[in-house]
Every structure is written in C-alpha cells, then in structure tokens.
Structure 1
Amino acid sequence: MKRLNVLLLADHNNPTHAGTILEHIGAIEKYSQHNVTLRNPRREGAPGKNALDVFDVILIHYSIWVLWDAYLPKAWRQAISQARCLKAQFIQDEYRYVDLTVSHMEELGIRLLFSCVPSENINAVYRQPYAKSMTIVPVLTGYVHPDFAANLPTVSLAQRKIDVGYRSRENAPWLGNLAREKVLIAEGVQRIASAYGLSTDVSVREVDRIYGSNWERFLSNCRVVLGTPSGASIVDFDGQVETRVHNYLRHIPAAGYEEIARGVLAPFEGNEVIDTISPRVFEAAITRTAMVMFPGHYGNVIQPWQHYIPLERDFSNFPEVAELIHDDDFLESITDRAYDDLIASGRYSYQSFANLVDTALEAEHGRLLEQGLIKARSTENHRLAATISKPFWQLRAQWSLLSQIGHILFLCASSWRASLLVIKVMIAEHGNVQKLRKLLPELARLVVLQKSKLRGKHSGKSLYVQTVMVEDTVVIEGSLAGAPDYRSPVDIKRLFQSLEAGQVTAIRWMADLAYDDRPKMLEGISPVYGIYPFEAVREVGRKFPYDVARILSSIGAKGMPAQCGGEKEEYAVPPKN
C-alpha cells in the first residue's frame, strides 16, 4: 500500500504537558511508516479553502480536547468536517462527558477511534448510536519509551535505600472508588510499613511529585513501588456527576472523599468501570523495581504473581507481602519476568504502537475508499510542511525552561508581590528548579484571578470571586449566579496565623458552573477552571506566610457588590451558543 498523507493535530508545543504526552505525539511522528505532518490548531490559524485535500487521514491526538473551541477552533472544526478523508482520533480520560464527546465526533465525522477503554467495556461506554458506526481500536495510555533510564546503570537490590516508594496524586472525587485507591494504598502502606521493618518514601501530594531523570533515579533506588489500576469506577456520561460534586463542595468546601461518596457518588458508583494500565508499570519494569499493587485488570497486560505482588485492598496479606519485600531472590525473579515480558519482548514499545496505528489507518482508509465514503488522494507531489527535527523527548528540558521564563515574565508584569515571593523562594531554595516548576504556574493562576486577565464576550453574567476560609481549607470560590450569598471574606490575620502554623490543609479554587456553560466557559477561564488545588502555594505559605496571605486575601477585592459582604472582582465570560 502506498504511504498515506497523515495530518496529526496535537498540542505538541505546550510546555506544560507531561513528558508522556510529548512522547506519545513524538512516537507517531517518528515511527509511523506514513507521511506525518504535525500541526497545532490551538496555536495556528485555520487552514485555507481545500487546504486539507492533500491529506488521506486527519488524526486528532488526545491533547486536543474536541469539546472545547479553545483546543479546536470553529474554523478548524468546519474544515475537518468538510474534508473527504479518513478522520481518526485518540482519546483518553473517557469517563467524562462521554455523550457530548461522541456528539462532537459525529460533527467532525470521526470514523476510527483509538480508545483506552478495555475491549470488554467498549460497547457499554460507547453506547451512543453514532459510536456504533465507528471502528474502535483498543490501545494503552502509554508505551515503553526507548530512552527511559537509558543512561542509568541497573542498581542492585542491596544498593537500594528505599524499601517502598510511590508517587501519585489525589484524583477528582467524581472518578469514584477506583481512582481513590491511589490515595488509599499510600495511606495504608505508610500506616503499617514501619511495623514490618520497611522504610517508605510515599506521597500523593502534588508538591512531592518527581519528574524527568529524578524520577528514573527514584525508581532505581526503591526495592518495590506501589501501584493501582488506572481509570475510574464512575463514567459520567452527561456531566451530572461532576456538577453534583461541584454543588456539594460549594456548600461544604471542606468535605472529604468519604462524605462526598455518601452524599453524591453512591448512586453512580460502578455504573461502568474503566480499569487499565499506567505507563508507570513499564517504567518500574525497565528499572527492575518490583511492583506491589492492588489486583486489577490492567489492560490484560500484567498478571498477579507473574509480574507484580498482589496486595489485598484491606491490607490483610501485608505480613506476607512485607516478607517478600525483604526477599532478594524473590524480587529478582519477579522483576526479571516483568522485564522480559514487558520490555525485552518489544510488545509494548512505541514502535509496536505505531505499527498498530498504521495498520488500523490503512485498513479503515481502504474500507472507506472501497465504499466511496472518502476520496482518493495523491502523494506523489505532496510536500510535507516543516516539522520539528528533534524528537519531542529531547526538547523537554528546553520547553520546561521556556515555560518557567514565561511564567516569571508574566508575574513580573502583573504582580510585584508574586514576583517578590518567587525571588524569596529562589533564595531560600538556592535556585531549586523543581520547587519553582511547581510554584510558578500556581502563582500565575492566582494572579490571573487577582488581576482580572480573563476576558470574553459579555453575556449578561459575571463570575463573582471571593477568598474564604472554611475550617482548615482556604477556598477561592466563584459563581455565575449573579451575586450569591457569600460567606464572610477571609480574615488576613487568621489566614497568616494558620499558614505560619501549618494548619492550612488545602487551598482550592472552586467554581460553581452549570454544565451547559462549560464548553464556552473554558475559552474564558480555562487556567483556573473547576476544582484546582494550589499545593505548592500552600507549602510555600509555611515559610512565607505573610506573602501568601496577602496574595490570597487580595483575590476578589475589587468591585464586589456591597450585599456580598465586601468588594469583589467581576469577570466577563463568553455567551453560550
């Protein structure tokens, strides 16, 4: 078969993306046998008339969220829907807005979908009439990166200083009990490990996350690493679960997961389960770090006792697990099997992934061409547009640096107080780049709220914002419902004292937004949308409580209606269609 001209639409030059996203994009461009042209519709103008006619395939990457015009502008949507070629899409996080996502796929004319939903669950998740007409190919969320830990020597078990390691984050509550397990396994093991003579380095806090080569070294220094299935045990087909959680937290901001599960999630729990594997499993196998994991499906890639040590969810078998963690011979045998099956076999390499994608594109293109549903293209005289010459994973350090410089310039131009805080942190941390990497984007989001940089067409609604303190939680809350009955604004003295004493357990932005407003709202307030935790700001607040208290208390300090108990800022928001 002749090589296809493939237009890959991806948010490839976004410096805030995790490395796994860039690796996924780069693998398609690097390993595909077809002619791949890469474009970012978020940053490039719309194609001219008939400009897409030179392509046999338009492939939309999961970094382009088709729900929102901010990711795929209307002009691009129109051009894609009118193109007479095969249209395919990668998708992840398939537990949110499923019905709305499929309706957008129908508008675009998507005929081939690469899904991370396990094959046995595809028909239940994609139950919509249009979805039944698509060809759906199961894929994994990520694959084996060829350069991961390539420059690190294999570290023997005797040299590893950490018995049990783990890093993750707390997921949104509306993903259900399966996603909550990331927190439960960390808390449970931390609570009992020391009784069995095990040292731990376990955290689900955002500020403790580890990136790049530091993550590779961390894994190589652990005897075992914890793990849980990736995915969700609630599929929110129409957005009502997330909306209900937002409304619940609006009234009870300090509510924990268990309370939210009882009050909101119980009727939806287990409506469908998406249980798949994380690329972290491959990274552990590469570094020959044994895995202790809750039992699960894991995309049918790994099996208990063959590739990982199963840990019961009630931790009832932890004594036996702890004994095995101390057993060098057992750990060597299980890590050898995991390495042989997952890494050395090549079955889960990005090369194999690209081959799978090529095969699916060729088969679907041929089928639609035979049925006369698409037009044949010519590749002989087509000149591919210029693409980045280096693989994206080689550019991660440069993008990270550019991102930090951009945030610093923005803060300098927008807020002297935030800029001063950055300088203080740099001095205190001796230029610790890791600390700044987490702090800078959070400060930028706070300044966006503070300085009213969010703009859109006014629709008669204003987004009211106010900082309040509920028990030990600082809440930056927003509402579209005119002037709501706000709580009293935060007392700066109390906030300062709580930060200084380390009594603030969370700083969150929470917006009470109606589901129907969301696609358009994202154009105006995507940097601070939904529920967003400011973990790095909270951590810095212990060392610099006055600076952080001043920044937080100044949010919503202008123009708030008098009946709200203080002054507030208003934000113009785009109208609904």
Structure 2
Amino acid sequence: MRVLILHEIDDIASARRTSVNHAFCLIKYAPQNEYTLHSVRQPVTSRLRNQCFDAIILDTTFLTWRWAKPKSLRLDRILDEYAFIAKSDAVKIALPQDEYDHTELLDNWLADWKVDLIYSVCHEHSDEFYPRAGKHAAIVEGLTGYIDDADVAMMQRFSVPFRERKIDVGYRAKTLPAYFGRFGRMKSELGDHFRSMMSGRDLKLDISTHPGDVLVGDAWLQFLGNCKFTLGCESGSSLIDPKGKLRECVESRLRRNPSASFEELERACFSGQDMKRAYSAIGPRLLEAAIAGSCQILIPGRYAGALNPGEHYIPVEPDCSNADEVFRQMQDDGANEARINACYRALIGNPKFHYRHFVSDLLAQIRSIGDRKGLAIVGAGLGEAAKEADLREAFTRSVLRVYQNHVDDMKEIGFVPNFLHTLAVVLGRLVLTLGHRIRG
C-alpha cells in the first residue's frame, strides 16, 4: 500500500511526543507499506504531484494551516499547491483536532478535497462541524492521541515506586486564548486554583502554565513517573468559531490593550455566545498519567465514557472549592492504589485507546473504502504474527524509502548537498525516535 502522510513536524527533537506518535503511527505499526512523508514546509515537487497513492493522510498538524495568517494568502497557497490532492483517486483520511476553530473553513476544505473519512475527536458534534464534508465522508470517533506500546514499556523504566516519588502533585497546561471560552480556560485555571487552595498543606507541587516549562520527549514521561498525583480535565472549547472572526476580534483587542480581561474580551467579541455548548475531548495526558501509575485528580467529565469519579480518580471542582475533601482523599493510600489500578484497567486495558487498534481500524477503513471506490489496493495489516526481526526490517526499508523520496525531491529543486546532510540528520532523528519505540 502506498501512503502519503501530509504533516508539519520539522523538528522531531522539539516536537511533543504525542504529536510525533500521532503523525507517524502508521510507519511504526504497519511498516510493511510504502510511505511518503511530506511536511507542508517542504517544496511540492513534480515527483510528489505525479506519484500514485492508495491512501493520503491529512495529519492534525497539516490541517492547522486553516488558521494560518494571513488566511487569504497562507491557506489559499496551501490549497493551490496541493490541488493535486483534490484530483487524486486515493482514499483520503483527515485527522483534525480543535474542530470548533475555523469550523467552516475546515468543512469546506475537506469537502472540496473529497475526503473519504474523518476521525472526529468531538464526534457528538460532527453534524454541526461537517454539513458539507459529511455528505461525502464517513465520520467516525477519534481521539487526540492514543497509547503507544513503547511508552508503556519505557514507563516501566522511568516510573518511581509511588511512595518514593518526589512530586506530590504535578501538572502542565497551556493557557488558552479567550476565543476558546470559559471551558477552554479551565485547564490553566485549574492549576492556579489548585496551587492557591493547597497552599500551606506541606505538599510538593510542580504545577506550571508557563510556556518555558513545557516538557517534551522522554522528559515528559519521566516527570509523570515521578508524580504521585496529576491534575487534569477534558480539553476543548465552549465557543464555535466558523470563520475565525472571534479569534480576529480577540487578537485585535489585545493588540490595542494587552491587559484586557477575559470579561472585557467576552463583552466585545462573543457576548452571550459562551457556554451554550461544550466541545470536549479526552486528551493524551489522561492516558499517559494512567501509564505512569499516577493517581489522577480530575474535574468530572465524560472522559470517553471510560472513567467515573471516585472509582477511577479523585474529583475536584473547577474552582477547587472542595480542596479540603480532595486533600483528605489524597491521604488514603489504599483508596488511591485502587483508583490507580482501576484507571489503568479502564484505559490501558481497553484496546480502543491504543495506537495498535487505531492503525488496525484505519487500515481496515482504507481497504473498505478502496473496495467501494473500485480501487485495487494491496493492503497490509499490522503483521502481529510476524517476527520482531521482520518488523524491524520492514521499518528500516520504510524509512529508507522516505529518505530516498526526500533526496529525489531535493535534487529536483537543486538544493545544495549541505541541505541534504541536514535532511539526513533530521531523518536520522526520526529513525531513532520511532525505532527505539518499536524495540520498546
């Protein structure tokens, strides 16, 4: 099977591990196929335009170009340069996230390109998101990230015995802009509220929403493996922004008054619109904390129907007004051990939360859609019965094909050898990043 993966991950070393796992999971779990990886920041060559593909994957990072600035130039350029995608007979699959942001642009984009399958992370709202694209595409439930086999194995090395962990409560969250509404603000506000309400209780807290404190790669797993408890909530927004007008209004106001409060921005840009609906999704952090054996303290939510307050986690109010009760429950080692084990079974024990299952479903969907379209796709499954050495060999061949495609592209546009050397280093990082996870 010949697969094109369109993405925007140029620097593997600084990318979030969840983004790398998500974009390149097919290469790891189905290396028997032939892959072409193309970053949107690379030139579109005749080789890419003329190559015949069985499937084309529009990765999350590629689809974020719908809110690039200025939209009239950046997105139009993308749509023009990649117009050959719309004409391709390949099975086209989209993996969008933040579907409430520039919703109309996303819907039109996927409809115009005749995308066949959309993995929607806010699946219950998919009718609202895809009135055009949904007429052609099948829409199934997806996740923002899944469990990687190697992460589970690596955590066995990184995880510290619970009683020996140095951090009582750990948390990292990004402060989201006002145009994601009050629901979007919960992630950062949770950390601030918890830190304030737990002050003076002799707890070692490592809680930050500062961009400079972001942890990437193995450092993130090491952090979680040293936390007795982790905070969390569902990700999402309580506003829908079809064309990016809310974002434009908020950013324009902030340019004039950088200290404008959320309430001021709400009155000016989305008065009466917030919290009518909550567009929520389960985030990868929940899965990673479960792998780490960290007891989770969560704002109650849906959590893909897998977790219940009390049974799987300690429930905390969004404003942490029940901090006394949370602290009391944190002292019950027996109950917390039971929660950790129950959460592990509910998430890690459920195949639907694993990349292996996701890739298997994705390949089955490609074959099924290909049959309906009359395409002669020679599919390859996960190869679970294959020997580990065979999978490593298939992975090596796959990476070498990716490298050769890049070399051919660079030759076509006349780049100097120094750039090829740099490209080889980048691809080498990809081999190391994905290769060690296969071995895990």
TM over 0.5: yes
Q: Is 1:359–2:361 an aligned residue pair? A: no
- Pairing of 1:49-448 with structure 2 (within 5 A): 51-52=50-51, 54-65=52-63, 67=66, 73=78, 76-117=81-122, 119-126=123-130, 128-148=131-151, 149-150=154-155, 152=157, 154-369=159-374, 375-376=375-376, 386-387=401-402, 392=430, 394-395=432-433
> What is the CA–CA distance in structure 1 between the aligned matches of 2:378 and 2:188, rounded to whole Å?
53
Query: Which residue identity lines up with residue 128 of structure 2 in the other structure?
Result: A
Give the TM-score taking structure 2 as reference length: 0.79
How many corresponding residue pairs?
385
> What is the CA–CA distance in structure 1 between the aligned matches of 2:205 and 2:267, rounded to whole Å?
31
Structure 1: state its 5+ residue gaps: 370-374, 399-577
2:29 is aligned, of 17, 28, 31, to 31
Structure that is richer in helix per residue:
2
1:110 Cα shift? Answer: 1.3
User: SS in structure 1 opposite 2:83?
Assistant: helix
Question: Per-residue displacement from partner, 1:235-263 (whole Å, max 9, x unpaired)?
Answer: 11121111211222233221132332344
Query: Which residue identity lines up with residue 192 of structure 2 in the other structure?
Result: E
Q: Conserved in 1, the CA contact under 8 Å of 2:184 and 2:236?
A: yes
Q: Tell me which moved more, 260-269 or 200-209.
A: 260-269
User: SS in structure 2 opposite 1:395?
Assistant: helix
Distance change in 2, residues 1:212/1:42 (3 Å)? closer
Distance change in 2, residues 1:393/1:220 (3 Å)? farther
1:36 Cα shift? Answer: 3.9
Question: Per-residue displacement from partner, 1:46-80 (whole Å, max 9, x unpaired)?
Answer: 3359723x322222212213536768745642211
Distance change in 2, residues 1:75/1:257 (3 Å)? closer
> What is the CA–CA distance in structure 1 between the aligned matches of 2:379 and 2:298, rounded to whole Å?
48
Distance change in 2, residues 1:171/1:60 (3 Å)? same
Q: Conserved in 2, the CA contact under 8 Å of 1:27 and 1:354?
A: yes
User: SS in structure 1 opposite 2:42?
Assistant: coil
> What is the CA–CA distance in structure 2 between the aligned matches of 1:18 and 1:45, rounded to whole Å?
25
Question: Per-residue displacement from partner, 1:287-342 (whole Å, max 9, x unpaired)?
Answer: 11011011112233333223221112242322111111111111111001111221
Q: Conserved in 1, the CA contact under 8 Å of 2:190 and 2:319?
A: no
User: SS in structure 1 opposite 2:22?
Assistant: helix
User: SS in structure 2 opposite 1:234?
Assistant: coil
> What is the CA–CA distance in structure 1 between the aligned matches of 2:330 and 2:180, rounded to whole Å?
31
Distance change in 2, residues 1:97/1:147 (3 Å)? same
Q: Name 1:550's counterpart in structure 2.
A: none
Q: Conserved in 2, the CA contact under 8 Å of 1:24 and 1:142?
A: yes
1:355 Cα shift? Answer: 1.0
> What is the CA–CA distance in structure 2 between the aligned matches of 1:237 and 1:141, rounded to whole Å?
21
Question: Per-residue displacement from partner, 1:114-145 (whole Å, max 9, x unpaired)?
Answer: 2211x32211222x234333211211000112
Query: Which residue identity lines up with residue 350 of structure 1 in the other structure?
Result: Y
Identical aligned pairs, as a percentage? 26
Q: Name 2:414's counterpart in structure 1.
A: none
> What is the CA–CA distance in structure 2 between the aligned matches of 1:37 and 1:23, rounded to whole Å?
15
1:348 Cα shift? Answer: 1.6
Q: Name 2:387's counterpart in structure 1.
A: none
Q: Conserved in 1, the CA contact under 8 Å of 2:100 and 2:237?
A: yes
> What is the CA–CA distance in structure 2 between the aligned matches of 1:108 and 1:289, rounded to whole Å?
43
Give the TM-score taking structure 1 as reference length: 0.61
User: SS in structure 1 opposite 2:353?
Assistant: coil
> What is the CA–CA distance in structure 2 between the aligned matches of 1:328 and 1:233, rounded to whole Å?
36
Q: Conserved in 2, the CA contact under 8 Å of 1:34 and 1:358?
A: no
Distance change in 2, residues 1:218/1:379 (3 Å)? closer
1:94 Cα shift? Answer: 1.2
**RCO higher in structure (CA 8 A, sep ≥6):** 2
Q: Conserved in 2, the CA contact under 8 Å of 1:163 and 1:325?
A: no
Query: Which residue identity lines up with residue 19 of structure 2 in the other structure?
Result: I
Question: Per-residue displacement from partner, 1:12-36 (whole Å, max 9, x unpaired)?
Answer: 4444532211111221122137624
Q: Conserved in 2, the CA contact under 8 Å of 1:5 and 1:34?
A: no
> What is the CA–CA distance in structure 1 between the aligned matches of 2:15 and 2:216, rounded to whole Å?
12
> What is the CA–CA distance in structure 1 between the aligned matches of 2:32 and 2:221, rounded to whole Å?
32
Q: Conserved in 2, the CA contact under 8 Å of 1:169 and 1:206?
A: yes
Q: Conserved in 1, the CA contact under 8 Å of 2:298 and 2:313?
A: yes
1:182 Cα shift? Answer: 1.2
Distance change in 2, residues 1:365/1:35 (3 Å)? same
1:346 Cα shift? Answer: 3.9
Higher CA-based Rg: 1
User: SS in structure 2 opposite 1:140?
Assistant: coil
> What is the CA–CA distance in structure 2 between the aligned matches of 1:343 and 1:130, rounded to whole Å?
33
Query: Which residue identity lines up with residue 144 of structure 1 in the other structure?
Result: I
Question: Per-residue displacement from partner, 1:119-177 (whole Å, max 9, x unpaired)?
Answer: 32211222x23433321121100011223243525423321222221111111110111
1:279 Cα shift? Answer: 0.7
> What is the CA–CA distance in structure 1 between the aligned matches of 2:159 and 2:223, rounded to whole Å?
12
1:109 Cα shift? Answer: 1.8
> What is the CA–CA distance in structure 1 between the aligned matches of 2:313 and 2:102, rounded to whole Å?
33
User: SS in structure 2 opposite 1:211?
Assistant: coil
Q: Name 1:6's counterpart in structure 2.
A: 3
Q: Conserved in 2, the CA contact under 8 Å of 1:30 and 1:391?
A: no
RMSD in angstroms over aligned alpha carbons?
3.0
1:206 Cα shift? Answer: 1.0
Query: Which residue identity lines up with residue 122 of structure 1 in the other structure?
Result: S
Q: Is 1:42–2:41 an aligned residue pair? A: yes
Distance change in 2, residues 1:112/1:328 (3 Å)? same
Distance change in 2, residues 1:180/1:141 (3 Å)? same
Q: Conserved in 2, the CA contact under 8 Å of 1:286 and 1:339?
A: yes
User: SS in structure 2 opposite 1:58?
Assistant: strand
